[in-house]
Amino acid sequence: MDKIIAYTRVSKSIIELLEQSYDVIYFQNYEQLDDPLFKKELQDAVGIIGLELKVNQKLLQHAPNLKIVSNVSAGYDNLDLDAITKAGILATNTPNVLTDTVADAMVGLMLATSRRIPELHQFVQQGKWKEYLQTEYFGVDMHHKKVGIIGLGGIGEAIAKRCHFGFDMDILYHKRSRDLAVEQKYDARFCSLEDLLKESDFIVLMVPATKETEKMISTEQFKLMKKSAIFINGSRGINVDEEALYKAIIHQEILAAGLDVFDQEPIDMDNPLLHLPNVVTTPHIGAATIENELAMSTLAMKNLTTGLQGKKPPNLLNEKVWDFYEK
């Protein structure tokens, strides 16, 4: 049987299905390149499926038989698409299935941050609730505010939908081009990044990680925000200058932040953002629900097996390789 390497976030039931047709070697951790056993198994592998493994030239030199890489994620900044394409290997991801799940998580961060839920949870647990809550512990409303969404793709639109219909919020958005359908559905307003930062009460960053978006939110951008603004990052940690964010919060240039992603993951416990009560953090759990985990693994398996059968995977990232296959 052909060999497949699976790692980290692949549902057990999907592993069992794959084992019916393939020799599946499972690794718990995704940073395995220094493991002699991983290198050995990689030599014969025709497919790789999992989350966050860095597939680059360094790895590919140990994988002469590899035909496809199936990412269990909508994001694919862990894949060196240039190197993968040059090697004639198919690369796929799992978009769309996680849209609603991630949108739910981002709205949850907005609520948790604005109403100070984690902070007040500790307040109760620590026995500090002795009388009526003093105003110094009050949060701020989310409803009827302005939310600015940077990067209005599928997830951004799902956030806009929840904010517009669920919280009567005004929707501002910034992306490369206008989306008239979104404007009509959610009474959204397309605006420049500068105007969005100046006007929004909540700012939600949902852009992919690229060279152009690296640290796109830094000192200058935080200074444009309202002092009452709440910043949410559900994109990638590299898109935000964390030092600038820390300074913006301690200097009270913005009110608070909710972060699901970080420049270093898992986060360094010495990161000063962890010690601020008005910063709510979650461990990159935007898509992490039981239901969505299975949905992503199922789609990743479909991408993988379709490619190995010589057919075009439904979520192919590098069309150039398929053009070569067809020729």
Catalytic residue set: 236, 265, 284
The answer to whether 227 and 252 are in contact (CB under 8 A) is yes
The b/e string for 210-239 (b: 16+ C-beta within 10 A; e otherwise) is eeebeebbbeebbebbbeebbbbbbbbbbb
Q: How far apart are CA 45 and CA 68, in angstroms?
A: 10
Q: What angle do CA 105, 107, 108 make, to 5 degrees?
A: 60
- 3-state SS record for 255-321: CEEEECCCCCCCCCCCCHHHHCCCEEECCCCCCCCHHHHHHHHHHHHHHHHHHHCCCCCCCECCHHH
How close are the terminal C-alpha atoms of the chain, in Å?
27
Do 292 and 99 contact (CB within 8 A), yes or no?
no
CA gap 234, 187 in Å, rounded: 23
Q: With b meaning 16 or more CB within 10 Å and e meaning fewer, what string describes 162-199?
A: bbbeebebbbbbbbeeebeebbeebebbbbeeeebbeb
What distance lies between CA 185 and its chain's CA centroid?
25
What angle (nearest 5°) sits at the alpha carbon of residue 161, between those of residues 155 and 164?
A: 140
Instruction: For Cα atoms 157, 160, 164, give the angle at the middle one, nearest 5 degrees.
Output: 145
Longest dimension (CA), the chain: 75
Q: Which residue has the tokens 């992490």?
A: 288
Q: Residue 281: which of 289, 290, 292, 269 has the closest Cα?
A: 269
